Structure 1
């Protein structure tokens, strides 16, 4: 079985690869944004532009953006969001339309938290 030419990976090559990725990586408390293709960035689509030098983190909807990733370090943010959503949904105050929006946000927080747990090998 031919596996092709052997590749020699040096520390310098690894350093160069990391530098290339570091230029597109943007860290936030709820996700990592791999801003490699501005045309795919949901935050830019929301404002109607396809090009920018950096993501618009204030408009980030990381649970829907294809360039965002969630990791164990982000779990507490999503857990807090789910907990807060449960409290607000349990409150008798607030119009029905707001409850619908809160329910969707609460479900999204739970889904992201469960995906983080699955990726980390944790039981939900």
Structure 2
């Protein structure tokens, strides 16, 4: 696979970075956990961090890249409600943080498409 914006290693780096942030500064992510989920938000924050790191590791390894990239697309769709929760919670907050939170919502679309592109490219490479 060429080293382009669709690079699996860049996607893996993004996922690993997000996972490490969830694990090292969970208090920043706990408020994003939708209140309808059972249990303590911290458990969900840590779980998502572990999943993100595992997905990153899967994307790095060519033998698991295709399935990990597909799982990443599904994961990104699955965590979309957390981004919505954050946008709802910050709708009356300061303008700049509110704009950042709102900007995250449409960002999920290119991230999902990127993960799908990595999966398709790996499938094509394996023939």
Q: Under a length normalisation based on structure 2, what TM-score does the superposition of the two structures give?
A: 0.34
More helix by percentage: 2
Higher relative contact order (CA 8 A, sep 6+): 2
Larger strand proportion of the pair:
1
Higher-Rg structure is 1
